[in-house]
Structures are given as C-alpha cells and as structure tokens.
Amino acid sequence: MYPAPAAKIKHFGSLRTAAVWAGILGVAQSIIWMGLTITAICAFNCVLYITNDLSYGSMVKTVFFDVYFKGGCRMNPSDYQNYDQTILNTVNTVFDPTQILIWNSVYLGVSVCWLIVSVVLLLWVRKDNPKQTVTAISIWAFFVAAICCMDVASGVIFGVDYGRFHEEALRYNANSINAGVIYPLAATLIAGGVAAIAMMIISFKGFVLWFINFGLLVYLVVRAIRISTDKDNVDTLFNPRKDSNDILTTRTPIRAYEEVEVQAYNNAAYVPETRSIAETIEVNEGAIVRAAHLSMDSNLMDRRFRDLNAFQQYPPPNPQQSR
C-alpha cells in the first residue's frame, strides 16, 4: 500500500518568519540579560568598582549601587567612599538588595532557559512536522510568558519605588529664597528616583522590546492552536479521519438506484395472485440530481482527488505468478 501523505502546515511562510524573529531576538536578549544579572550578582558581593570620590556627578551611580545592589560586604575605601545615608534611608524600597539578589538569580536561570528554547524554536519549526512545531512553540511560549510576567512585576515594583523617592523629595527645600534649611544630601533622593526609574525602564526592556516579545508570543500561540486543531491536514477521500470535517465523509449515502415498489391497488389487505402490470420499479431521480450537482462542484472535486497517491487502483504484482 502507498504510505499516508505527510501533514503540511498551512501558510508556513509567515509562521517561519515569526519563528525566526522570535528565535533571534530571544537569543540576543537572553545573552544580554544573562550578562546583566551576572553583573548584579557581582555587585552584591562588592566585586565591581564604584567610585572613590563622591560628587554630584557620581552621586547617581553611587546611590544606584547602594539602594539596589550593595550587600553587607565592605568595600575598600579606595574603591568606595562612605557618606551620610540618613536621608536616603528614610525611603523604604519594595525590594532590598538581598531580595534583588534572589530575583536576579531566578531571572538568570529563566534567561538560560530562554536561550535554549529560542535555539530549539529556530531548529524545530518545520513545515512537514506539525507536532514538532507545536511542541517547540509551546515550550518557547511558556518561558517567554514567564519572562514577560516577571518584567511587568519588576517594572511595577520599581515604579512604586520611584513614587516613594519623589514623594519624600518634595518635603525638602531646594531654594535659598524660600524659608527653610537646604540639605545638600537631599539630592540623594533625586538620585534614588533616577535609579528607580532606570530600573523600571530596564525591566520593561525599553518598553519597545517588551511589546515585541508579547506580540510574537500571542501570534505564535494562536498559530500553534490553529495547527493543533486543524483537522484537514492528511484526511482524504480514501483515508479520511474519523473526526474529519470533509463533507464527503460525513454526508448521507446517495441511493440513486434504490428500488421502490408502487402498488396499483388501493386495498392494502388485498394480495393478488399474480403481479399487476401497473406494479413498476421507479428510480430515485432526486438522488441522481443531487449526485450530479456534487460531481459538478469543482471544490468538492478538488478535495475528492487532491491526493491520488492514497488510492491504489490495481493490486501489486505477485512475483510468484511470473515464475
């Protein structure tokens, strides 16, 4: 017998284009975020050089490090200069540096998985293998959805931090004309707000990349669902699926030449000794007309004979008979 025809994915060109973009962007972004999370972990352990001179120019960098990344370690005075953090510590951030470390560690693991599934997505999406394609998209979608959710959560958290720094900074006077004392170190609150808004933008990947990732996620998931629910890939007239939606496999049989007896007498209880000449056999003309209409339908004809390889007209030759 002839083998069953291989399943094909409809409109594969657009699916392949989206998968390539998703895979390439996933590989690039995952590598970048692996580097950023490793940098944050090193900062928590005071491995990075910060500054040995606190000034208004280096204040944002120093406060950024103190608020979100500096752990309990002590840095060399030549690499880091201590300063009065009393005003800065009046703001309680949602995450302290230890919790940021845990978050970065989890994100590092998810980024590694993101890199792997992006490579799998590039290699496994094939036109002639719907099952493998759906599997690759499903695994990729799971980790990208996790990344998107973590980005939204961290973006909201750092947005809350920015609001707290901004609210606290409004309490301090910055104009010598106004009544009140000017506190120079109140500028650390401005630096803290800048650090928070920077972390929020980084979390959302500049907003643009986040929307691109989410758009690719939605598109590929929708395509995967359509591929999974497509019932018209390999079903044919000669080898239909049981759950096929093909009209040729679900229509009622056409009984074009069914014999119908017509009695020539009115009394049903009367049984004549011989058959009457008026008793005839009629042909089901309505069924013949319906069959003719089906035969003239070009769409059904195309579906009926779309795979002639699945139909074996002649039995295979018997080698025993040729001897």
DSSP class per residue in 3-44? PPPPP--TTHHHHHHHHHHHHHHHHHHHHHHHHHHHHHHHHH
Do residues 85 and 191 both lie within one domain?
yes
Does residue 256 sit within a domain? yes
Q: Using a pLDDT cut of 70, give the percent of the chain over it.
A: 67
Q: How far apart are CA 314 and CA 59, in angstroms?
A: 87
Q: Which domain holds residue 78?
A: 12-229
- Split into its structural domains, the chain has a count of 2
Domain-terminating residue out of 171, 196, 229: 229
Does residue 121 sit within a domain? yes
Does residue 42 sit within a domain? yes
Q: How far apart are CA 315 and CA 36, in angstroms?
A: 67
Which one, of 220, 27, 49, lies nearest residue 138 by Cα?
A: 220
Do residues 56 and 112 both lie within one domain?
yes
Do residues 186 and 125 both lie within one domain?
yes
Model pLDDT for residues 141-199, shown as the tens digit of each residue: 999 999 999 999 999 999 999 999 999 999 988 887 776 788 888 999 999 999 999 99
Give the residue ranges of the chain where pLDDT is below 70: 1-11, 179, 231-323
Domain-terminating residue out of 198, 229, 260: 229
Do residues 108 and 156 both lie within one domain?
yes
226: number of CA atoms within 13 Å, CB side? 12
CA distance between the termini of the chain: 23
Do residues 43 and 72 both lie within one domain?
yes
Residue 125: predicted pLDDT = 86
pTM to 2 decimal places: 0.67
Does residue 5 sit within a domain? no
Residue 240: predicted pLDDT = 44
Does residue 6 sit within a domain? no
Residue 174: predicted pLDDT = 82
Which one, of 41, 38, 47, lies nearest residue 75 by Cα?
A: 47
Do residues 190 and 54 both lie within one domain?
yes
Residue 243: predicted pLDDT = 46
Does residue 236 sit within a domain? no
Name the token pair of 200. Answer: 């929020």
